[in-house]
């Protein structure tokens, strides 16, 4: 999630006592199971985002220390205990957003200390027998410049994924690569609000990046030939990703899922005060609003899930600032349940507001209990 745009979105997950530990050999070549991506998504259950952490970035940060970037947006250094707590609360997957440009040379070589740190945090997740997702996150928005600098953007994109793919090639199938975050949207080429411009060209830029991602990972050796991959939808928006102009990349392994984000209605989930683009809403949960949610989830199911393309809701949530707590509980539980019931994996966005990373305690027990109810429910 882009900090400058979504700073008000603070969502959470939890921790409790101890977590299950599972030792694994991340360098072994026999850790890729004969399992479909749909089954993987089912096993991922309800997930959690390590938000505002390894994706923290900004020109005002001047340091050669990974820790300086990791803590720049207000969160502490991630520890094993923090991730153990997430596992102990019942979460089965963790998304780890990363800004690789933070420590990168002019030739796009990623600093070894940043790669090592991402490996360390990924290890915390995998040691708990959870799924881990690593991506290219907002990272100062350079991916959104593909319509202005096509060749340069593609060169950097390939350089990043070539290094990441090689460094993580020995990891098991509990590690998933995600092509990018929300930045696959090109309003200068096609305005999604006015429909002005060249829509096919705008979608084509994202489709090209996603296909490049799949091709590069598949050719990178090790376990990557069969690794499960997460493909970013157009702006990760439900309607825009369900549009026929969005194309899932061709994959000889047929091991790709699609990622969308869900913050609808944004006047409730994002706005803490009235803005020029909308009036902040304090409550949520009317029959009309519940019907809207069901409609969006049905659309994802019919467009993708029913056609054999698994779906991960890579981010969802709602700010608690100036909101009715009951509405926040209702919204988060309802979105998680609606996605989970349709075979999708919902992953809660959390930048530290609800999950206290210093104490590994979930600040709002009712919110946690609502999510645990979803985790413990049955689904096909």
Question: Where in the sequence numbering do the catalytic residues fall?
Answer: 182, 315
Q: What angle do CA 24, 85, 137 make, to 5 degrees?
A: 75
Is residue 297 helix, strand or coil? helix
Alpha-carbon distance of 345 to 364, in angstroms, equals 22
Q: Which among 129, 85, 100 has a CA at the least distance from the CA of 368?
A: 85
Tokens coding 179: 């092509």
Tokens coding 30: 């026999």
Alpha-carbon distance of 380 to 376, in angstroms, equals 13
The half-sphere exposure of 201 on its side-chain side, counting CA atoms within 13 A, is 14
Alpha-carbon distance of 241 to 376, in angstroms, equals 29
Helix, strand, coil distribution of the chain in percent, nearest 5 = 40, 10, 50
Q: Which among 349, 324, 328 has a CA at the least distance from the CA of 49?
A: 349
Taking a C-beta distance cutoff of 8 angstroms, is the pair 338, 311 a contact?
no
Alpha-carbon distance of 198 to 276, in angstroms, equals 27
Taking a C-beta distance cutoff of 8 angstroms, is the pair 8, 319 a contact?
yes
Is residue 276 helix, strand or coil? coil
Alpha-carbon distance of 243 to 41, in angstroms, equals 22
Residue 313 dihedral angles phi and psi, to the nearest 5°: -85, 90
Which residues make Cβ contacts (< 8 Å) with residue 148, sequence separation at least 6?
188
């Amino acid at each position: 999630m882009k900090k400058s745009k979504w700073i008000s979105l603070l969502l959470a997950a939890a921790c409790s006592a101890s977590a299950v530990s599972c030792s694994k050999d991340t360098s072994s070549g026999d850790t890729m199971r004969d399992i479909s991506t749909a089954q993987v998504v089912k096993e991922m259950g309800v997930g959690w985002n390590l938000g505002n952490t390894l994706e923290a970035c900004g020109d005002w940060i001047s340091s050669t220390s990974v820790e300086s970037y990791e803590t720049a947006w207000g969160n502490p250094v991630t520890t094993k205990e923090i991730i153990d707590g997430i596992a102990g609360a019942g979460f089965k997957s963790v998304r780890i957003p990363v800004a690789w440009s933070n420590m990168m040379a002019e030739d796009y070589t990623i600093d070894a200390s940043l790669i090592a740190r991402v490996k360390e945090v990924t290890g915390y997740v995998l040691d708990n027998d959870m799924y881990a997702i690593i991506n290219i996150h907002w990272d100062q928005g350079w991916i959104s410049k593909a319509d202005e600098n096509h060749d340069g953007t593609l060169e950097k994109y390939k350089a990043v994924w070539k290094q990441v793919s090689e460094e993580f090639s020995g990891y098991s199938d509990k590690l998933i690569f995600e092509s990018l975050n929300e930045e696959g949207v090109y309003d200068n080429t096609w305005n999604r609000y006015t429909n002005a411009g060249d829509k096919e060209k705008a979608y084509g830029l994202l489709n090209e990046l996603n296909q490049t991602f799949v091709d590069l990972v598949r050719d990178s050796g090790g376990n990557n030939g069969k690794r499960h991959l997460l493909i970013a939808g157009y702006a990760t928006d439900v309607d825009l990703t369900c549009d026929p102009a969005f194309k899932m990349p061709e994959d000889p392994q047929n091991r790709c899922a699609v990622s969308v984000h869900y913050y609808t209605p944004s006047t409730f989930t994002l706005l803490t005060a009235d803005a020029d683009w909308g009036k902040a809403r304090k409550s949520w949960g009317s029959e009309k609003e519940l019907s809207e949610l069901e409609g969006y989830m049905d659309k994802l199911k019919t467009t993708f899930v029913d056609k054999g393309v698994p779906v991960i809701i890579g981010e969802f949530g709602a700010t608690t600032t100036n909101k009715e707590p009951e509405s926040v509980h209702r919204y988060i539980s309802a979105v998680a349940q609606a996605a989970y019931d349709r075979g999708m994996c919902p992953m809660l966005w959390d930048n530290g507001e609800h999950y206290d990373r210093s104490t590994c305690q979930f600040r709002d027990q009712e919110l946690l209990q609502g999510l645990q109810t979803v985790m413990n429910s049955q689904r096909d």
